[in-house]
Every structure is written in structure tokens, then in C-alpha cells.
Structure 1
């Protein structure tokens, strides 16, 4: 057999790292911090008890101890209505009412125009483009055109139903993508 290759310990001998700290000792020579204190003897600057960084309370304060400028926060970390969706029948665009939000330009589309275009040109998503929902409008026009109009009966019925829902003032079609109500 012979000697083991260079750099490997002989059988029966453990690997010894000359730079390793002795067992049970912190490699940086620091004692473990007691609960509620940081490693260098400092108090936790945020005073948090929860390991996930959440503070108890009513939800009106941010995790940094400051009052939220938007009122009550949602459970997902965003202020209520921050996504532009009206919350519980709120009037107007929820995101436009927040301080610092950019005002929405333009005026709302006519309900009759959007509904009629949905009925007659719904396969091409024209009514969705007018309401500001460009992604759904692109889906409708691409399904129609890329299928070489073989799926146009499906997209035509899709647009017809949406056009009727707009004219019937369905709650899902009361507002455009910017939160503006459609005008009559």
C-alpha cells in the first residue's frame, strides 16, 4: 500500500484544519447574545419580538414604528386600494386619491360606444382596448387572427357577451382600467 496521497489524512486520522476554531467556541471570539439584544451588546433597534419582523397592533403602523400615511394597511403589505381596485364600493379611482399619486389623464369612455364595439367588433378586442385592458384585447385579436379565423366564432361570442354586459351595466364592466366609471 504505501503512504496516502499528499493532502489527505492517513486512514484512522481525522482531518485537522490548522485554521479551525476549537470545538464549542465562536470563530470570532464573541459570546452568544441574550434574547432581545444584538450580538455587540446593543438593544434591538426595532424592538421586535416576532421572528418574522411583524409587530402586533391594529395594522396602522409600519414595521418601522411609523404611522402609515395611507390609513389602514391591507394584510398583504400594500395600503388599501393601492392596486387601483375599488374596495367595498369605494367611489372613484382608489389609487388616484392617494397622496403623491399621478393624476389619471383623459376622460372616461362612453358606455354605449364600448358596448356597441364589443357587440360588432368583439372578436378583435376593440372594446377592451378602449377600456384600457390591452392585454385582454391582444389575446382576443391574436386568437382570432392567428387561428386564421377558425376560432373567430368563439371570440365573436366572447365579444358579444362582453358588449351586452357593458350595456347592461354589469359590476365587472362599470369602470375602465384606470378606475374611471364609464359615462352614460
Structure 2
């Protein structure tokens, strides 16, 4: 379970720093979600990058178990 916790923290930090590129979604195996983040950022001239920041903060506020169940097992796409 410790590996999943470090994944949560890593995804959260990456989401905050470069979430506009969808890298945090690619890291979790969600290729479609990552591509959607890139498209949103391109269409909104970068303003869509706030989605990544919000997701990163949400990841960091969840427990390791919640993060794993919600985003890895259930593969929740948005927030």
C-alpha cells in the first residue's frame, strides 16, 4: 500500500505543476483523460490548466485507500 501512497503524492504534485498537459492522468494509465486535458488546454489557450491544479489538490487531500479505490480501481475520470 505504501507504493500506492507515493503514487498519490506524485500524481498530486505533477497535477499541480503540469496538470495542463495531462501527465498525471497518463501516469495513472488514463490515456484518454490525458489527451482530453491536452485538448482542453489547447482550446482554452492554457486556461484549462486549472483543472489539473484542482485535481492535484484533490489527490493530495484523499487518503491512500480512497485514492487507490477511486482513481485506480474505479478509474474515475473527472475530479
Alignment of 1:103-142 (within 5 A): 108=4, 110-142=7-39
Q: Which has the higher contact order (CA 8 A, sep 6+)?
A: 2
- The CA distance in 1 between the partners of 2:26 and 2:34, in whole Å, is 6
Secondary structure of the residue aligned to 1:132 is coil
| Matched length | 67
Length-normalised TM-score, structure 1: 0.32
Alignment of 1:33-48 (within 5 A): none
Deviation at 1:114, TM superposition (A): 0.5
Larger Rg: 1
Deviation at 1:143, TM superposition (A): 2.1
Length-normalised TM-score, structure 2: 0.69
Hey, which of these two has a bigger chunk of helix by percent?
Answer: 2
**Which of 55, 59, 75 is the matching residue for 1:166?**
59
Alignment of 1:1-184 (within 5 A): 108=4, 110-145=7-42, 147=43, 150=45, 152-153=46-47, 155-169=48-62, 174-175=67-68, 176-177=71-72, 179=73
- Where do 5+ consecutive residues of structure 2 fail to align? 74-79
Moved over 6 A (4+): none
